[in-house]
Amino acid sequence: MKIVFLGTPEWAVPSFERILTDGHQVLSVFTQPDRPAGRGNKLQPPAVKIAALKHNLAIYQPTKVRTPEFRELFESLAPDVAVIVAYGRIIPEWILKIPKYGFINVHFSLLPLYRGAAPINWAIVNGEKQSGVTTMQLVPELDAGDILLQSVVDIKPTETALELGDRLSYLGASLLSETLTNLTNINPKPQDHTKATFAPILKRENGEINWQEMTAEEIVWRVRGFQPWPGAYTKLKGTRLIVWQAQIEKSFSGSYQPGTIVHLDKNGIVIACGKSSQLRILELQLEGRKRLNIRDFLNGVSLQLGEKLD
């Protein structure tokens, strides 16, 4: 098949590579513009661009897709199908009609659950036990197109969003391969829109820990789900403190005000949480400093029993 590929982050690369491995012709690649990143804010290319450069493919990085120039370019390519994986742009309806077989979207959730920009993160944050990948026909409404194929996986008990995303990216590549191979024989299945849930784009404030209202289990879900950004965070003496690894603690009896340090040693800092639950923090990071395990953190920061996190 003659394919146009649209994608941006690392999680889109396995699908892109699988298309080439399967022998399809990639006419061109569309990805986001280079963005400032890292120390010095130097421009960094998206992961998909880096992958496409290795294959000497035509690469386009438009800042806008709702333009006559974008439409003219897409029409000139005349693809059989367009594949989109975490591109980061909403494709206008008039573009969707150009490819012979439309647009196929690889979405990292079991649609209609978790439509939107951050399905992997919100599935973990909400304590889901399963996730998966859906290939679907792209339509103007957000992630509401007919389902082509789906594949289900269990979310591992300690799995972070980064780890689950890596797994799903390769599962998505396999599912895309199967979808393209059998495209003309698949009977698309309409989604049950009454069961739709949403996974909005992440904001910094999503990661804030509310010790009063959240249980230890809910905080652990946030620690795992909000990696690498925005991170599950609180404040220690007015400074933002990111929690990178934590687990539920059940060893210490007594009634404590949520947010209070009830125990600390080289194996962790135990904090009182909502509904009389307790959390053991194993790895953390003060803003502007390195990410540290508890032993190294306590060597540089003085904490006291009974002290409260904001």
Distance CA 300, CA 281 (A): 16
Please state the rounded mean pLDDT for residues 159-174: 98
Residue 72 phi, psi (nearest 5)? -60, -40
Q: Is the pLDDT of residue 39 over 80?
A: no
CATH superfamily of 2-195: Formyl transferase, N-terminal domain (3.40.50.170)
Distance CA(13)–CA(9), nearest Å, equals 7
Q: How far apart are CA 8 and CA 101, in angstroms?
A: 22
Considering the entire predicted model, what is its pTM?
Answer: 0.96
Q: Residue 5: its pLDDT value, please?
A: 98
Q: Tell me: the pLDDT tens digits for 193-218?
A: 999 999 999 999 999 999 999 999 99
Tokens for 55, please give them. Answer: 């294959």
Q: Quick one: tokens of 132?
A: 């998966």
Q: How much is the pLDDT for 255?
A: 86
Q: If residue 130 lies in a helix (H) or strand (E), which one and from where to where? A: strand 130-137
Q: Report helix, strand or coil for 146.
A: coil
Could you tell me the fold of the domain covering 204-300? Methionyl-tRNA Fmet Formyltransferase; Chain A, domain 2 (3.10.25)
> Which of 245, 254, 237, 307 shows the shortest CA–CA distance to 279?
245
Mean pLDDT of the 149-163 span? 98
pLDDT tens by residue, 77-114: 999 999 999 999 999 999 999 999 999 999 999 999 99
Number of helices (H) and strands (E) in the chain: give both, helices first.
Answer: 8, 15
Say yes or no to pLDDT of 254 above 90: no
Listed in sequence order, the DSSP H helices in the chain are 13-21, 47-53, 68-77, 93-96, 119-125, 161-181, 216-225, 294-300
Supply 237's token pair: 């003496």
What pLDDT is recorded for position 187? Answer: 97
Hey, which residues does 7 pair with through a beta bridge? 85
Mean pLDDT value of segment 131-140? 98
Q: How far apart are the first and last CA of the chain?
A: 56
CA dist list (Å): 21 to 17, 55, 57, 228: 6, 12, 14, 30
Q: Facing residues of 25 across strands?
A: 2
| Helix orientation angle between 13-21 and 161-181, rounded to the nearest 10 degrees | 30
Per DSSP bridges, beta strands 42-44 and 35-37 are: antiparallel
| Structure tokens, 72 | 């003219």
Residue extents of the structural domains in the chain = 2-195, 204-300
